[in-house]
Amino acid sequence: MKIIVGLGNPGKEYEKTRHNAGFRVLDKVANRLNIDVNKSKFKGLYGSKGMLDKKVILCKPQTYMNLSGDCVVELLKYYKADVEDLIVIYDDIDIDVGSIRIKPSGNPGTHNGMKDITKKIGSKDFARVRIGTGKPTDGRDLADYVLGKFSKEEDKIIEEVTSKAADAILEIINNSIEGAMNKYNQR
């Protein structure tokens, strides 16, 4: 089983913001796997599909970013899944725009959604796919920055990066996280 959670904030006003990079990747994975992420449960929107020898569950928490752990805990309990079955996709200001970083585990860093997930599930031993959004260079408040939209130039880059991240997720599902790291941990 693979439970893939894309982090973001619900609502039209947040659709193309930096903080919703996880939702953007999850939408592409859902499209490629032909999974509708439209059922409401677990404090999120989800969809699932059986693939060969495993079940794939895709989810977008609807709790707003800082309470993402509420949704993830419910998903893991319902499916009786181990944290090793979990993959979380999210934005990361500590990575340049245009970069992807895949890791099998790690600390949440400064990301409040990831802090909430690791606290509530009691583990940091789950895969993560981080989408680089860069840091503000104009002195802007960090909260305003992550809730802001990408520039036109950045959005083109993010469109490509989110496609590559979706490819990386499929690589993890079909093969291994090590294979995805070798292929996609680059600019």
Residues annotated catalytic, as ranges: 19
Max CA separation in the chain (angstroms): 49
CA end-to-end distance (rounded Å), the chain: 29
- Return the amino acid letter for 160: E
Which residues are CB-contacts of 157 (< 8 A; sequence separation ≥ 6)?
Answer: 97, 98
Residue 167's alpha-carbon distances to 57, 84, 93, 184, in angstroms, are: 16, 20, 22, 9
| CA–CA separation, 46 and 58 (whole Å) | 5
| CA–CA separation, 61 and 84 (whole Å) | 19
| CA–CA separation, 112 and 90 (whole Å) | 11
Which residues are CB-contacts of 111 (< 8 A; sequence separation ≥ 6)?
Answer: 90, 91, 92
